[in-house]
Amino acid sequence: MSRKKDKKESEHKNRSNLYFFIGLGIFLLIAFMVIVPTKTHHYEVEVSYTDTETYTEKEPYETQESYQVQEPYPGVEYYTDNVPVEQSVPYTDYETIVYNAPSRQYYSSCGSDCTCTDYSFLTGDCIQCTCSVAVIRYKNQIVYQDIQKERPVTKYRTLTKYRTVTKYRDVEKTREVMRTKMEPRQMEVNWILGFKMPFKLHIPYISD
């Protein structure tokens, strides 16, 4: 009777151990299926990189520039002035000259511009001729004449001069700048909980 009891206890113990190992195996399988499989997680990160940038800069430089100025200088200006001048002007005048015939003589004709102004009482012949003779006389009068004169004036002439000026020109330069860009990354994570895994283990239908 004691043997039967021991045998029964032994079978019960073996059955309990079997259940334990089966349960442990199922637990480990579930834990393995939950924890171990991974899937690939794709993401982007912002990374910095050095780039060369082209830019334009105003650069000063010196150059010669021409300009014009008006320079005064003394000069002479000629002009015409209408001034009064006193001068002797000739003119024609007439004077009367009486010619008397000598005693016992007479004039048969007095000639042009002359007339007989006295006759003989006895014979009726002309004994006196009065003539109008043209003579040139002179008189002073004021006349106006154009006279060329000169006077000092200030004149101007254009001179070209040069000066040094600063100008600016566009110069193309380069410089290094820091830029950022997005780069794709990937890592292995747990297929359920999403924590990072140090290894990759994809199982069909789980890791997809």
| Domain ranges across the chain | 36-190
Tell whether the model's pLDDT for residue 184 goes beyond 70: yes
CA distance 170 to 60: 9
Cβ atoms 48, 179 nearer than 8 A? yes
Q: Give the number of residues written for the chain.
A: 208
Tell whether the model's pLDDT for residue 4 goes beyond 60: no
- Non-local CB neighbours of 84 within 8 Å, separated by 6+ positions: 142, 143, 144
Q: What is the pLDDT of residue 12?
A: 67
Cβ atoms 118, 169 nearer than 8 A? no
pTM to 2 decimal places: 0.34
Side-chain half-sphere of 161: how many Cα atoms within 13 Å? 10
Side-chain half-sphere of 186: how many Cα atoms within 13 Å? 8
CA distance 20 to 26: 10
Q: In Å, how far are 5, 11, 13 from 16, measured between CA atoms?
A: 16, 8, 5
Q: What is the pLDDT of residue 56?
A: 92
Cβ atoms 151, 76 nearer than 8 A? yes
End-to-end CA, the chain: 61
Q: pLDDT per residue over 29-80, tens digit each?
A: 776 766 667 788 888 889 998 999 999 999 999 999 999 999 999 999 999 9
At 196, is the pLDDT very low, low, confident or very high (cuts 50, 70, 90)?
confident
